[in-house]
Amino acid sequence: MAQFRGALESNELYDVGYVGNLFTWSNRHSDHTFTKERLDRYLMSAKWEGMFREVVVEGLVARSSDHKPMLLSFVEGERRLNKRGFVFRFEASWLKDEECKSLVEGAWSKKVQSSKPIEKGAKVIEDMR
């Protein structure tokens, strides 16, 4: 693995990121030896990223293999992921938190002009804490 990481580093390649279940491989055992890992990755260079900025990698359902198929898609505008591959998703369990309602009401009551409302909303909430 050290040699592989060295090859990636010397060739200036890095992981595109990933959406969905973090694991791309499973040994499919049904006992205590069950293992899941993220083995499969899309790599890119800075030059490639400059040419193809709007991409998302997602894992699909594996039907007959122990590796999940991976799909590289080109997306537009606001659906772009950050470098970590993070997409905002609302968690229903947040509603159980007593602070949730007041944080959301406070954020919605502020007048904010932005082409990226999710990012501005997160900033407003952070400022309120």
Domain tally for the chain? 2
pLDDT, tens digit, 9 for 90 and up, residues 111-125: 666 555 556 556 656
Rounded to an integer, what distance in angstroms lies between the CA atom of residue 16 and that of residue 44?
6
Clarify whether residues 81 and 19 are in a common domain.
Answer: yes
- The answer to whether the predicted template modeling score (pTM) of the entire model surpasses 0.75 is no
pLDDT, position 119: 60
Half-sphere exposure of 84 toward its Cβ, with a 13 Å CA cutoff?
3
Clarify whether residues 62 and 124 are in a common domain.
Answer: no
Q: Which residues pair with 15 in a beta bridge?
A: 43
- The residue-averaged pLDDT of 70-98 equals 66
Residue ranges making up the domain that contains 42: 1-87
pLDDT, position 33: 93
pLDDT, tens digit, 9 for 90 and up, residues 15-70: 888 887 778 888 888 899 999 888 888 888 888 888 877 888 888 877 788 888 88
Question: How far from chain centre, in Å, is Cα 22?
Answer: 9
Clarify whether residues 63 and 4 are in a common domain.
Answer: yes
- The residue-averaged pLDDT of 81-99 equals 66
pLDDT, position 22: 79
Clarify whether residues 80 and 100 are in a common domain.
Answer: no
Clarify whether residues 67 and 119 are in a common domain.
Answer: no
Burial 109-126 (b: 16+ CB within 10 A, else e): eeeeeeeeeeeebeebee
Clarify whether residues 80 and 96 are in a common domain.
Answer: no
